[in-house]
Amino acid sequence: MKDVKPKIKELMRALFGNVPSGVGSKGKIRCTLQELDKAVVEGVQWAIAKGYGNQEDAEHCEENGAIQDADPKNVSDLARKRGLPQFGTLGAGNHFLEVQRVEKILDEKTAKAFGIFPDQIVVMVHCGSRGFGHQICDDYIKVMLDASRKYNIALPDRELCCAPIESPEAKRYISAMYCAVNYAFLNRHIIAHWVKETVGSIFGKQVIDEMHTVYDVCHNIAKLEEHEVDGKRKKLWVHRKGATRAFWAGRPEIPQAYRNVGQPVIIPGSMGTASYLLVGTEGGKECWGTTCHGAGRTMSRSEAVRTHKDEDVAHNLESMGISVISASKDVLSEEAPNAYKDVDEVVRSVELAGISKIVARNVPIGVAKG
């Protein structure tokens, strides 16, 4: 902490310059549509072969950074064209890159297994599949609306459109969605590589070898998993919308390094508030190994913009000792800390419910928003 704090503004400017962010931001990676198709099938192994990150990063990633059965043939040309220039970008809205200090350890044994210690400086990255995934969703809502009518499925809400899992429509959608999953893995993996490079440029290249990925966890995806239902093992499609996986110790899907401990779980707060590192627990069996993805909003983005000014939010954060930098107008007011629920209470409820156990509380010292 004593080494980073005096240089936090310099570090945030460098990170902001090295990691493309903002609405419609374009990445630094130049590749063809054919290369993009290859990348979203291979996942982070494609990036590693290109010199981004390393094998340990992949091993500390859900699905080892590449979910199987992704098929770009089922992704529209428009989605591919939207995804190509945004490859390796942070994006906007609630996506962020945050430099944090580990303020408090609440589970020393698990923290040690995760490589976390008090006053450590960590970097948290939140981003997804950008316009690529958004377009895939838009494309398949139309497909699923037609499928719902075709298979005589009564919908309480058109946004719940669906199709039988073995239908050709569902199979195409799943393979396209998995391309978006791998795109998101690649985005975070590549951004993490640029974070390491940036930190090394300021604090010395030897620091890069000390930086390790704790875990990369998905959100807003559906996966086929095995769980216990009424005392019997069954395969279920678990759709974690606004949620992430939180598996307990012993599950084979957890990386070998954490299998005897449990899966790392990340619950971010808003800029200006704490974020948490937790671990999955057996109590999570009740909800098939799932926990929340974040604190959740208390007001809409339009209301937040109406009631906050960017400059006031920035001033308040700076007065709290948090260096903040943003790419676009209104993003700070949209993401004002009090536009979100109290993350401390949210995480406390998760632990009281037995879904996950708190390992460490991190507080921001630098925030980059798109």
Mean pLDDT of 336-358: 94
Residue type, 133: G
* CA dist., res. 196 & res. 206, Å (int): 10
What is the predicted pLDDT for the residue at 136?
98
The single residue listed with the structure tokens 């007065």 is 319
pLDDT in tens, 239-256: 999 999 999 999 999 999
**Confidence at 22, pLDDT banded by 50, 70, 90:** low
Question: For residues 285 and 356, what is the distance between their CA atoms, to the nearest angstrom?
Answer: 11
Domain ranges of the chain: 1-91+127-214, 102-120+217-370
Residue 293 known to be catalytic: yes
Given pLDDT bands bounded at 50, 70 and 90, which one contains residue 329? low
Catalytic residue among 60, 126, 219, 293: 293
Q: How far apart are CA 8 and CA 117, in angstroms?
A: 20
8 A C-beta contact, residue 58 and residue 65: yes
For residue 71, the number of C-alpha atoms closer than 13 Å in the C-beta half-sphere is 9
Give the number of other CB atoms < 10 A from CB of residue 199. Answer: 23
Would you state the CATH architecture of domain 1-91+127-214? Alpha-Beta Complex (3.90)
Instruction: Show the tokens assigned to 36.
Output: 């993009």
349 CB neighbour count, 10 Å cutoff: 12
Cα angle 158, 162, 166 (rounded to 5 degrees) comes to 170
CA distance 217 to 223: 13
Tokens representing 194 are: 């640029």
Rounded to an integer, the average pLDDT of 195-218 is: 95
> Which pair of tokens denotes residue 220?
């807003």
Nearest-angstrom CA–CA distance, 216 and 61: 5
pLDDT digits (tens, 9 = 90+) for 91-109: 887 888 999 999 999 999 9
Tokens for 24, please give them: 């419609």
Q: Would residue 107 be called left, alpha or beta, if left means φ above 0 and alpha means ψ between -120 and 50 degrees?
A: beta
- Cα–Cα distance, 307 to 334 (Å, whole number): 9
